[in-house]
């Protein structure tokens, strides 16, 4: 297993927790603190196999970023998991709107984030 996972979140704590959990599970983890910074991975040879993206971020929220990625020929096939502390009902709606592949609710445990990633990559 050498899949690349890109985590986009403006919280250093969330980035560190998610990175640690996925590193330990054997994934190669890339991090970015916003959707603009993430482009350097998404549109390069470092293209991730999956993106985990916070919804509430400065500059460009995760939901809008996910929609833009799904509309772009280069990035439309990259699975996206949205990350947020919103309610499950709100998250299901946002996933549908953004054409994302699922969501992870905050706060999450290391096991929950690894399980969500494995579930999407197995499809």
Q: Give the chain's mean pLDDT.
A: 95
pLDDT exceeds cutoff 80 at 2: yes
Calpha distance 87→67 (Å, rounded): 20
Over residues 44-62, the mean pLDDT reads 91
Average pLDDT over residues 115-120: 97
Positive/negative CA dihedral, 51, 52, 55, 61: negative
pLDDT band at 1 (very low <50, low <70, confident <90, very high): low
Q: What is the pLDDT of residue 59?
A: 80
- 85-to-53, 55, 59, 63 alpha-carbon distances in Å: 12, 9, 19, 14
Mean pLDDT within 89-109: 95
The model scores a pTM over 0.85? yes
| Structure confidence at residue 63 as a pLDDT band (50, 70, 90) | confident
């Amino acid at each position: 297993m050498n899949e690349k996972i890109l985590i986009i979140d403006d919280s250093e704590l969330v980035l560190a927790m998610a990175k640690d959990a996925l590193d330990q599970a054997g994934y190669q983890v890339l991090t970015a603190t916003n959707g603009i910074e993430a482009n350097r991975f998404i549109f390069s040879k470092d293209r991730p196999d999956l993106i985990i993206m916070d919804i509430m971020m400065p500059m460009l929220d995760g939901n809008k970023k996910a929609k833009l990625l799904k509309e772009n020929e280069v990035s439309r096939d990259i699975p996206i998991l949205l990350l947020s502390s919103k309610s499950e009902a709100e998250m299901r709606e946002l996933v549908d709107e953004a054409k994302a592949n699922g969501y992870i609710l905050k706060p999450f445990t290391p096991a929950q984030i690894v399980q969500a990633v494995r579930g999407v990559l197995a499809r």
